[in-house]
Amino acid sequence: MLIQAGIVLLQVLIILALAPLLSGIIKKIKAFFQIRKGPSIFQPYYDIAKLLRKESVVSENVSWVFHAAPAISFAAILTAGLLIPIYISDMPFDFAGDLIAVVYLFALARFFTALASLDTGSSFGGMGASREMFIASMVEPALMLSVFAIALNVGSTNLSYISQTISMAGIDAVSPYHLLAFVALFIIAIAETGRIPVDNPATHLELTMIHEAMILEYSGKQLAIIELGVMIKQLLVFSLLANIFFPWGISSGFGIGIVISLIVYLIKIVFLGACMAMLETSTAKWRLFRLPNLLSISLMLSFLALVSFIIVKGG
Amino acid sequence: MEYTYLLIGLIISYLIGAASSIILNKKDHLCACAAFISASIASVFGIILSLSVVFGETFTFTLSSSSFLNFGFFVDRLSAFFILLISIAVFAVSIYSIGYAKEYFGKKNIGYLGFLYNIFILSMILVVTANNAVMFLIVWELMSVISYFLVVYEHEKPEVRKAGFIYIVMTHIGTGFIILSFLILASGSGSFDFETFSSTGAAMPQMLKDLVFLFALIGFGAKAGIVPLHIWLPYAHPAAPSNVSALMSGVMIKTAIYMLIRVFFDFLGAGVLWWGVLVLILASASALLGVMYALMEHDIKRLLAYHSVENIGIILIGISVSMIFVSSGYTELAAFGLIAGLYHTVNHAVFKSLLFMGAGSLIYSTHTRNMEDMGGLLKKMPWTGLFFLVGSISISALPPLNGFVSEWLTFQAQLLSINLSDNIIKIAVLSSGAALALTSALAAACFVKAFGISFLALPRSKAVEHAKEGPKSMLFGMGTLSLLCIILGVLPFYFVPVLNSIAAPLVGTTISKVTFDLSLAVFSLRSESISTMWLFLMLFIFLSLPFILALAVGGRTPTKTYDTWGCGQPVTTARNEYTATAFSKPIRMWLGNIYRPHREIQITYAGSPYFKERLTFDAQVEPIFEKYMYEPVAGLVVSVSRILRVIQTGSIHAYLAYIFITLIILFAFVISGGG
């Protein structure tokens, strides 16, 4: 019981501590590819600390939804964090939710952020909410099919079980459907973390911003909470990719092994971050109405993953 | 014996409600109280009766018996489940109605409303308890006709009369098919008793069973609102008074689900594979098209009506997966699919009644159904807003509320299809998972729109600036169901075992393991589990974290209230706000092939083309089913009738001649030895 509480607490601390770092590292790598020096990898910590100390300016039009939304979204994302294996594959909370629950907890966070953005009466907020929900609608079917492909391949939707099984299978786990589902989920990860070519996290141009448009009216403490929440979500999405598709090296129990497990985990997410940074540097943001093409590719890939699994294994 | 008293108490309470409305119809206030309070008392009887049957034994009560027909009541666990569903919704809606009826005081006859309301509910109870086909058809027809009168309660409005017409036509097309289906069953089993149907129905020849299946699917599908028979819902639900739409959408269409389950699982036995596949396809189409059309609506009640089509689809996805399993011999898996379907049935009854009551409160306070005219209502109607938000989260299937639990169960049921032997069927069932995921994502988008546009930001019209919170009874009604949304969401491990016992007699087995340690565990692929209760607790704990973090790092900082930023120009009017139409624009463009949107912009110029005087903008999506399916059929009926009109001269002599000719033909037929 005590050990399990310890595992959970450590997990929360690791998530809170690593999320801004990952953001900083991705920015640094991006700067490297763009032949810039770039800010320090610790800049996101400074930014959040700075925002937490600032006064908030709140629109006079808003209701309680605007005030509550950052905390609710943050809580939803962090709750999802308890279900995703990070440094240990046997999560104490794995009974409380599976991969499907993670998907829907992210949806809960998005739901409240979108509502809050409509609350200020600004057209930017509405624009952001409308686009965000549009993209989410395209992501969801592809996401669910890849969830199905993974679940059927491993034999469960339980994330701890998925991690353990693939980790134990070793290199044998690599199969066409495994790879297809990975690519499908990677495309979804781009959309879920709001990165180029879907959304540009660094933009404040009316025509292109999506997530930034939603949180345009936030400032001070609330903005800090939202920014932290977004960073955590990014870390969690990367962790999902890492510990579902290549969980090798993850520790299965609590012990000295977790140090190695943590180092391996760091390498994995930095690698994924580097991939993301490379992709962001080499492509431009797509027009909003070209996104259905991108996400249809993801849908098709996950469908192929499912079909190939059924043909190879299920017959 | 106690069952009998409860049933009699229930029927009498509804009848008292109906009678007292008629007697007191001159005194609006008293009449509303009498009608709706006795309905809520009756619903308490219903709740007790259904619970005692669910946890007890099947109950039959015969009024009159003959060799040909037994008139009476038959309440097994499935019926009891639906009585419970109806009674819970009726309890909340009746209390809500005490306040809501004020909307009509002095304008309309309250006695008439109270009378129809009570008889309507009674007829629904009778529909789910009828023990033979004849009695069933009588009460089914009663329910349809009474609900028609409730739909046209505000009959002075032409659009309401049109809605009523569409409803009564569609519902009677349905009844026609139901009669056909029952006649085939009766001819196969030699009796009209439901008990005989269920004992002999499975032994009928396959072709007859196929026909019964198809006719029942069309007949009850028309009532449930399965695509393409759904067209009456977006007309009838908005036209009816909101408390009645809450019941029609929340529970009346569920009576069709009840009969679908009864016919498919009880009367026809295991069935064949293609039945389940056909229902699965129709269900997925209903779910997707329902939510897609809902997104394009800005009439809040039409939006909710389309969501009923969506949710009926979701319910039927669970049920059809179950049918596929039954026909393949996997009874335990079938129990699982049926539980998912039943769980969503009760969830939809709760949150849809809640949302329709919320919409009713909006109409009560603002006198408009158009969301584009609302806005900023959360500050003026905080409780209604909160309850509507709870309903929105539930219907969007977000954890930890009830919609999530049933959709999770449905996803797990779909995953189980990996056990089937046919690869194509497997892929079809799994693909319906993608359809369900798209449906719930679009539903979330739709309710961000519905809640965001009507409750948040600034008021968009004069009408809503002075809106006030409705009477306490309305808040109580909505509050009860909101609480139920949370309970059904957070404590599913209490309800799933009950559903397990309800599904058991229908599929022949129970699931061995459904719960452990306050979480919902199913044997799906391995042993899957979720615990919405723990998710709920963790959400609560983590809610405090941002505040602790903010205080610990940043200390106390002031908060300043200021204008919304609008590129240098302050946003002070609602004209700057995003509209519902604009919100759904990306989706309208993305799915343009389905919506076929068209818009018309008319500009009148004041002399020079540089100065616009007026601009009218009209955007619509094409109602495909009405245009390409119903209009041609209606046109055909009209033109055939025109031809037949030739024989209807209006002269009595001609008609006497027809009778005479018919007689002669019949005589000739008999004499020649035919028949």
- The DSSP annotation for B21-54 comes to HHHTTTSHHHHHHHHHHHHHHHHHHHHHHHHHHH
Tokens of B636: 């055909």
Identify the CA nearest to A78 among candidates A232, A226, A221, A269.
A232
Please name the residues in contact with B508: beta carbons below 8 A apart, sequence gap of 6 or more.
Answer: B331
Residue B398: list chain A partners with CB under 8 A: 104, 107-108, 111
Is residue B65 helix, strand or coil?
A: strand
Judged by phi (left if over 0) then psi (alpha if -120 to 50, else beta), residue B172 lies in alpha
Q: Which one of B542, B572, B591 makes the best mutation probe of the A interface by having the most chain A beta carbons within 10 Å?
A: B542
Instruction: Please name the amino acid found at residue A246.
Output: F
Q: Is the separation of the CB atoms in A77 and A109 below 8 Å? A: yes
Quickly state the pLDDT bin for A228 (edges 50, 70, 90).
very high
How far apart CA A170 and CA A167 sit, in angstroms, is 5
How far apart CA A168 and CA A162 sit, in angstroms, is 10
Please name the residues in contact with B587: beta carbons below 8 A apart, sequence gap of 6 or more.
Answer: A133, A134, A137, B292, B295, B442, B445
* Total domain count, chain A: 1
Q: Is the separation of the CB atoms in B104 and B113 below 8 Å? A: yes
Scan residues 105-164 of B and list those with Cβ closer than 8 Å to A: none
Tokens of A53: 């100390």
Identify the CA nearest to B98 among candidates B252, B243, B251.
B243
How far apart CA A169 and CA A174 sit, in angstroms, is 9
Q: Is the separation of the CB atoms in B249 and B290 below 8 Å? A: no
Residue A32 burial (CB count, 10 A): 15
Phi (first) and psi of residue B130, to 5 degrees: -60, 140
Q: Is the separation of the CB atoms in B264 and B323 below 8 Å? A: yes
How far apart CA A125 and CA B29 sit, in angstroms, is 45
CB-based burial, A127-155: b 16+ in 10 Å, e otherwise: bbbbbbbbbbbbbbbbbbbbbbbbbbbbe
Tokens of B438: 């798209």
Residue B453 sits at the chain A interface (C-beta within 8 Å): yes
pLDDT of residue B668: 92
Give the residue ranges of chain B where pLDDT is below 70.
Answer: 1, 67-68, 512-527, 571, 674-675
Strands in chain A per DSSP E = 56-59
Helices (H), B24-157: 28-54, 77-100, 110-129, 133-151
ipTM, two decimals: 0.96
Identify the CA nearest to B545 among candidates A116, A78, A48.
A78
How far apart CA B29 and CA B14 sit, in angstroms, is 18
The number of residues in chain A equals 315
CB contact (8 A) between residue B528 and residue A98: yes
pLDDT of residue B232: 94
**Nearest CB neighbour to A65, from listed B378, B438, B542:** B378
Phi (first) and psi of residue B65, to 5 degrees: -130, 145
Tokens of B102: 């004020």
In angstroms, the separation between the Cα of residue B298 and the nearest Cα of chain A is 15
Identify the CA nearest to B247 among candidates B87, B474, B14.
B87
Residue A101: list chain B partners with CB under 8 A: 399, 404, 408, 530, 535
**Nearest CB neighbour to A107, from listed B444, B582, B587:** B444
Strands in B210-268 per DSSP E = none
Identify the CA nearest to B281 among candidates B241, B259, B328, B313.
B313
How far apart CA B350 and CA B635 sit, in angstroms, is 39
Residue B550: list chain A partners with CB under 8 A: 52, 221, 224-225
Closest-approach residue (CA) in chain B for A293: B590
pLDDT of residue B645: 87
CB contact (8 A) between residue A54 and residue B554: yes
Half-sphere exposure of B37 (CA within 13 A, CB side): 7
Phi (first) and psi of residue A80, to 5 degrees: -60, -35
CB contact (8 A) between residue B448 and residue A59: no
A166-172's contacts with Cβ under 8 Å and 24+ in sequence apart are A166/A244, A166/A245, A166/A246, A166/A247, A166/A248, A167/A89, A167/A247, A167/A248, A167/A249, A167/A250, A167/A252, A170/A248
In angstroms, the separation between the Cα of residue B483 and the nearest Cα of chain A is 19
Phi (first) and psi of residue B74, to 5 degrees: -135, 115
Residue B46 sits at the chain A interface (C-beta within 8 Å): no
CB contact (8 A) between residue B528 and residue A158: yes
Residue A110: list chain B partners with CB under 8 A: 444
- Is the confidence at residue A113, as pLDDT, over 60? yes
Cα four-point dihedral sign B284, B289, B295, B297: negative
Closest-approach residue (CA) in chain B for A62: B457
Q: What is the pLDDT of residues B89-123, one digit of tens each?
A: 999 999 999 999 998 998 888 999 999 999 999 99
**Nearest CB neighbour to B534, from listed A96, A121, A288:** A96
Q: Is the separation of the CB atoms in B347 and B410 below 8 Å? A: no
Residue B384 sits at the chain A interface (C-beta within 8 Å): no
Residue A63 sits at the chain B interface (C-beta within 8 Å): yes
Q: Is the separation of the CB atoms in A125 and A119 below 8 Å? A: yes
Q: Which one of A12, A95, A217 makes the best mutation probe of the B interface by having the most chain B beta carbons within 10 Å?
A: A95
pLDDT mean over A285-292: 91
**Nearest CB neighbour to A152, from listed B408, B418, B447:** B418
The count of CB pairs under 8 A between chains A and B is 289
How far apart CA B11 and CA A57 sit, in angstroms, is 60
Surface-to-core class of residue B527, CB atoms within 10 Å of its CB (0-12 exposed, 13-18 middle, 19+ buried): middle
Is residue A219 helix, strand or coil?
A: coil
Angle value at C-alpha B398, between B395 and B399, nearest 5 degrees? 130
Residue A312 burial (CB count, 10 A): 12
How far apart CA B659 and CA A161 sit, in angstroms, is 79
How far apart CA B197 and CA B294 sit, in angstroms, is 39
How far apart CA A237 and CA A248 sit, in angstroms, is 17
Instruction: Please name the amino acid found at residue B314.
Output: I
Residue A219 sits at the chain B interface (C-beta within 8 Å): no
How far apart CA B400 and CA B390 sit, in angstroms, is 11
Residue B619 sits at the chain A interface (C-beta within 8 Å): no
The number of residues in chain B equals 675
In angstroms, the separation between the Cα of residue A257 and the nearest Cα of chain B is 27
pLDDT of residue B519: 56
Residue B524 sits at the chain A interface (C-beta within 8 Å): yes
Q: What is the pLDDT of residues B205-220, one digit of tens each?
A: 999 999 999 999 999 9
Which residues form the domain of A206? 2-314
Is residue B398 helix, strand or coil?
A: coil
Query: pTM, whole model, 2 decimals?
Result: 0.95
**Nearest CB neighbour to A76, from listed B448, B539, B562:** B539
pLDDT of residue B477: 95
How far apart CA B229 and CA B238 sit, in angstroms, is 17
CB contact (8 A) between residue A289 and residue B589: yes
Q: Which one of B419, B528, B531, B593 makes the best mutation probe of the A interface by having the most chain A beta carbons within 10 Å?
A: B528
pLDDT mean over A41-60: 93
DSSP 8-state secondary structure symbol assigned to residue B299: B
Residues of chain B with pLDDT > 70, as a percent, come to 97
Q: Is the separation of the CB atoms in B509 and B331 below 8 Å? A: yes
Residue A138: list chain B partners with CB under 8 A: 590
Cα four-point dihedral sign B370, B373, B376, B381: negative
DSSP 8-state secondary structure symbol assigned to residue B206: H
Residue A209 sits at the chain B interface (C-beta within 8 Å): no
Residue B396 burial (CB count, 10 A): 26
Quickly state the pLDDT bin for A246 (edges 50, 70, 90).
very high
